[in-house]
Structure 1
Amino acid sequence: MNQTVSAASGNPAPVRPGSPELEKLFELIAADASRRDQERIHPHDVVELLGRARLGALRLPAEEGGGSGTLRDVIGLAVRLGEADTNVAHIYRNHFTFVERFLIGSDDPRRKVWRDAVLNGAVFGLASTELDRKQTGGASDFNTALVEDGDGYRLNGTKYYSTGTLYAEWLLVRATAAGSRPVSIVIPTSREGIERVDDWDGIGQRVTGTGTTNFHNVRVEAGEVIFDKENPSFLLPYTSTIAQIFVTAVNAGIIRAVLRDAKALLKSRSRTFYFAAADRTVDDPLLLQTIGRIASDAFAAELVVLAAADALDKVAQARLGGLGLDDLAHEAALTAAKAKVIVDELALRSANALFDVGGASAATRRKNLDRHWRNARTLSSHNPASYKAQAIGGYEIAGTRLPSLGFF
C-alpha cells in the first residue's frame, strides 16, 4: 500500500475511507468471507491485515498519528466492512467504542499507552456481560471482582459475549472493587490468567470471537484501573450509542452484500421460472423488481445510519468544545434507535428476498447465501428493536427521554 508516514507516530498513516488501498482491502476480505463463515475459519489473517493498515486508528487526530476521521467515517467504514464480511466488521465494534470513550479528548496520562497501541494496529476488546447479573432497573454490582493485592490488584470472574476479544491485544474489563465500586480495567490479553474461550455457537456471526472470557487470579497494576467516580468515561449519558449504531451499520452492510450477490445470481442463471414473463432471467420484470427493492433498501439503510453518525459527530464536537451534551446526546441516541428499527427490518426483508431471485437452487449449502439472513438475524437480536420502538413511542407521546445508560 502506498501510504504516507505519520510524523507523530512513525507509522504509515491509516488508510482513508474511499481510498484505492481500502477498496482493495475490502475486495480481498470479501473474496473468502463465505468460506470463512461456512467452515468456521477465524479471520486472524484479515485482522492482521487491517492492523497493518491501522484501520483502528481512524478516529485519532492526525497530529497524534491517526486518521482524523469523523464518526460518519467510522460508521461508513462499518457499512462497507459489513458488506465485505460481517464477522470482521463486528470485531471492531468494541474497539471503536473504546477509542471514543477513553482516547478521544482525554487527558488521562495512561492514555498514551493505549493510544500508542491503537496507532500500532492493536485491537481493543470488551469483557463486560455477565449472564447472572441483573440487568433491569439499572446496573447492579458486577460479579467479576477486583481485590487489592499489595500495590496492585487481582481480578477473578467470568464474562460472556466478549465480541472481538479473541482477536484483541488489549481488553477493557468491567468489574466491582471493594466497597461496591464499579471500575474499568484495561489490560493486555496476554496477561497470565486470562482465558479466552472460543465457545460462541450462534447461527450467525460465527467467527466474531464472541466467546467466554475467564479471569483466574489475574494480576492488575494500579495504573490499569479506572474508578467510575474518578473518571466516569464509561457511564456518561448515552455513551453506548456508538456501539448500538455500529451494529446497525453492519446490518446495513449486509443489505449491500445481499444486493451484490442477488445481482450476480440473477446474471448467472440460465434457467427461469415456469410461466416467467421473459425467456431470460435478466429480462424478467418480477425479478428486476426484486433487485430494485433490495437496491432501495440498501440505499435507505445506509442513509439512516449515516444520519445517526452525523448526530453523534455533533456530540463529539460539543464534548471537545466543553459544551453541554445532554440534549445533543439524547438526540443522537434517539436517531440511532430509529435507525435500528428501520434497518433491522430492511436487512431481514432483503436477505429473504435474495431467494426470490434464485429460487430453490439458491438454497444450496454450496452457495451459502443463507449466511446473510443468519447474520442479519443474529445482529438484529442485539438489544431488540421492539424495545427501541417502545422507547421512541414513549418519547413521541409523553416526552419521556430514552434511558441514558444500557443499550441506547
Structure 2
Amino acid sequence: MSDLSTSAGGSLRLVSPIAASFGLSAALEHIARTAVEREISRRLPREEIAELKALGFGSLRLSKQAGGAGASLSQLFSVARDLAAADSNIAHAFRNHLWQVEAALRRPQHPFHAHVLALTAAGKTIGLSFADSDAIAAGATPTRVLSRIEWDEARQAYRGSGRKVYATGNLYNDAFVGLAVENRENATVQYVLDRGDGVENEDDWAGFGQRLTGSGTAEFNAVTIPSHQVYPLDPPAREGAAPWRFTFHQVYLTNCIAGVVRRIALDAVDVLRARGRNFYHGEAERPADEPVLQAQLGRIRAYAAAVEATIERAIAALQTAWDAYGTEAEYERVLAASLSAAEAKVVIDDLAPQIANWLIDLGSGSVVSQNSGLDRHWRNIKVIASHNPRLYKERLLGQNLLSGRLPPTGAFF
C-alpha cells in the first residue's frame, strides 16, 4: 500500500491538512493500513476507537476552553470523511455521538445537554437508547426502549429495562441517552444512562457491509439511572424555528460514502501500479502503461472529485444553517440545508457504487481475491446508502419543485 497520507500524484490524499492540524494523522494512517485485516477477520475496532477518543476526535466541536479543539462544523465533516476513507465502519460508529454533541451545543445551559458536553470533554462517547423497528407504521413515531422508568425507593434511583435493535456504535459507547415516562409524575423525561450493570451489547449485526459498526442489539436489563441523571424535556422551540432538526444525520452518512469513494480512488492507484500482467489483446506490456486503464483511473479520480464537491456543497449549506440558529434567517437556511442534503444523497448514492465497480474493472481478475478486501467498498456503500433510501429523497425533491411540498421533519431530513 502506498503512503495514504501523501498525495498520490495530485490532490488525492487520505489525511487532510485539517485532520493533521488536530493531531490525527498517525491514528488515521494506522486505521487505514489495518482496515482490510479487520474486515477479513471481523475484528472489532475497539482499540482504534479508544485511541480516537483519547486523541479527542469525539470532542472536536467543543471549544478549547471546554476541553475540545474548537473545530467548526465543516471541519468536523472534513475529518470524519478522512476517517471514513480510512475505515467507514469507525466513522459510522461515531455518528450518534457526534449528533448528540451538536444538539448539546445548541442548548448548553440545559442540564441534560450540559451533562452530554461534560462526558464528551472527558473523552467519553454517547449512544442512543431509542428504538428502531421494522414494524413502525408510516408516519409513526419510533417507540422508546425504556418506555417507562420506575422509582426505586430503596436505591433512591430509577430502574428500567428495554431492548434496542440497530444500536449503531453502542458497542463502543460509554453512556446512552433516551426518553421515557417516569412513574412518579407520569411525565416524559430524558436521561443519561452510564454503561454498567445491566447494559449488554451483542455483535449480532448481520449486514453484508459495515460489519464492524457495532450495530447489533443493545439490551438494558433493570438498569439503574440516578435521579440526578434524569432531566426535564427541552423547552419548546421558539415560534418560527426550523422544524428540520436531523439534517446532520443524512449529511454525515453521505459524507461517509464520500470518504469510501476517496479510498477507492487511492486503492485504484495501488491496484494499477501493482498489476504485473496485461491481457494478450492489450496495447501495452505493463498494465500501468495501458491507455484504456490509465483512462479508467482518470475516470475514477474525476468522479471521486465530483463526489467530494457534491458533499462539500451540502456541508456548506448545513454550516450556513447552523450559523443562522436562533435568527430570523434560520427557517429558510435550514430548509435549504435539508434539500441540499437530499440532492447530495441522490447523486452520491448513484455514483458511488459505480465507482466501486470501476475499481474491479481496473484490477480485473487480479483483485477479486477475498484477501484484497476490495469488495468491501461496494458493500459498505450500499449499506450506508440504505438508510432512508434515495427513492424517497428523489420523490420529495420532485414534489418540492412541482408544488413546493416541504421535506418531512423526522430523522434523515
Distance 1:357 1:176, change over 3 A: farther
Change (3 A) 1:327 1:228: farther
Query: Partners of 2:127 and 2:22 in 1: how far apart?
Result: 28
Q: Amino acid of the residue matched to residue 364 of structure 2? A: G
Aligned to 2:210: 205
- Is 1:296 aligned with 2:302? yes
Amino acid at match of 1:134: I
Change (3 A) 1:224 1:93: same
Q: Deviations over 1:285-327 (max 9, x none)?
A: 21112111111121111122122111111222222x5445222
AA partner of residue 281 (structure 1): P
CA positional deviation for 1:142:
3.1
1:8 aligned residue = none
In the alignment, the residues of structure 1 paired with residue 200 and residue 246 of structure 2 have an alpha-carbon distance, to the nearest angstrom, of 26
Q: Which letter maps to 1:48?
A: A
The equivalences for 1:161-200 within 5 A come to 161-177=166-182, 183-190=189-196, 192-200=197-205
Which of 67, 70, 78 is residue 69 of structure 2 equivalent to?
A: 67
**Residue 351 of structure 2: aligned partner:** 346
CA positional deviation for 1:114: 2.6
Q: CA-atom RMSD, angstroms?
A: 2.4
Which one of the candidate residues 78, 88, 102 is aligned to 1:86? 88
1:194 and 1:20 map into 2 onto residues whose CA distance is: 33
Residue 331 of structure 1: CA displacement? 0.9
* SS of corresponding position for 1:292: helix
Between the aligned partners of 1:305 and 1:118, the Cα distance in structure 2 is: 26
After TM superposition, give the deviation of residue 352 of structure 1 in Å.
1.0
- 1:283 is matched with which residue: 259, 274, 289? 289
Output one character per residue of 1:58-116: Cα deviation in whole Å (capped at 9) or x when no partner: 11122322212111111111211010011111111111100001234421134443323
C-alpha distance in structure 2 between counterparts of 1:116 and 1:371, whole Å = 36
Specify the alignment match of 2:247 in structure 1: 241
- 1:114-153 aligned at under 5 Å gives the runs 114-131=116-133, 134-139=136-141, 141-142=143-144, 144-149=146-151, 150=153, 152-153=157-158
Deviations 1:172-202 (A, max 9, x none): 2344556986543221122x22221111111
- Assess, with a 3 A threshold, how the Cα gap between structure 1 residues 126 and 231 changes in structure 2: closer, same or farther: farther
Q: Name the CA distance, whole Å, in 1 between partners of 2:235 and 2:150.
A: 18
Check whether the contact 1:110–1:223 (CA below 8 A) recurs between aligned residues. no
Partner residue in 1 for 2:227? 222
Q: Is structure 2 residue 376 aligned with structure 1 residue 371?
A: yes
Q: Does 1:310 align with 2:316?
A: yes
The DSSP-based 3-state class of the residue aligned with 2:149 is strand
In 1, distance between residues paired with 2:235 and 2:118? Answer: 23
Corresponding residue for residue 33 of structure 2: 31
* CA contact 1:164–1:210 (8 Å) conserved in 2: yes
Aligned-partner Cα distance in 2 for 1:108–1:239: 17
Partner of 2:389: 384
1:95 aligns with 2:72: no
Of residues 58-67 and 88-97 in structure 1, the stretch that sits farther from structure 2 once superposed is 58-67
Distance change (3 Å), C-alpha of 1:347 and 1:57:
same
TM-score (norm 2): 0.88
Displacement of 1:338 = 0.8
Among 319, 325, 331, the alignment partner of 1:326 is: 331
Deviation at 1:136, TM superposition (A): 1.4
Matched residue type, 2:91: A
* CA 51–318 in structure 1, closer or farther in 2 if over 3 Å, else same: same
C-alpha contact 2:399 2:405 (8 A) present in aligned 1: yes
C-alpha displacement at 1:243, in angstroms?
Answer: 1.2
Gaps in structure 1 of 5+ consecutive residues: 1-14
Q: Supply the distance in 1 between the matched residues of 2:242 and 2:179 (Cα, whole angstroms).
A: 15
Contact 2:179 2:191 in 1 (8 A): yes
Query: Once the two structures are superposed, what CA deviation does each residue of 1:9-64 show, in whole Å capped at 9, x if it has no partner?
Result: xxxxxx95242832222111101001101111011111111111111111112232
Matched residue type, 1:306? E
Q: Secondary structure at the match of 1:396?
A: helix
Aligned mates of 1:112, 1:302 — CA distance in 2: 34
1-side partners of 2:242 and 2:273: how far apart? 50
Whether contact under 8 Å (1:51, 1:120) holds in the other structure is: no
**Structure 2 residues not aligned, in runs of 5+:** 1-16
1-structure distance, mates of 2:312, 2:65: 26
**Whole-Å Cα distance in 1 between the matches of residues 242 and 171 of structure 2?**
27
Give 1:402's aligned amino acid: P
1:271 aligns with 2:277: yes
Query: Do the aligned partners of residues 110 and 164 (structure 1) sit closer, same or farther apart at CA in structure 2, a change above 3 Å counting?
Result: same
| Conserved 8 A contact 1:133-1:142 | no
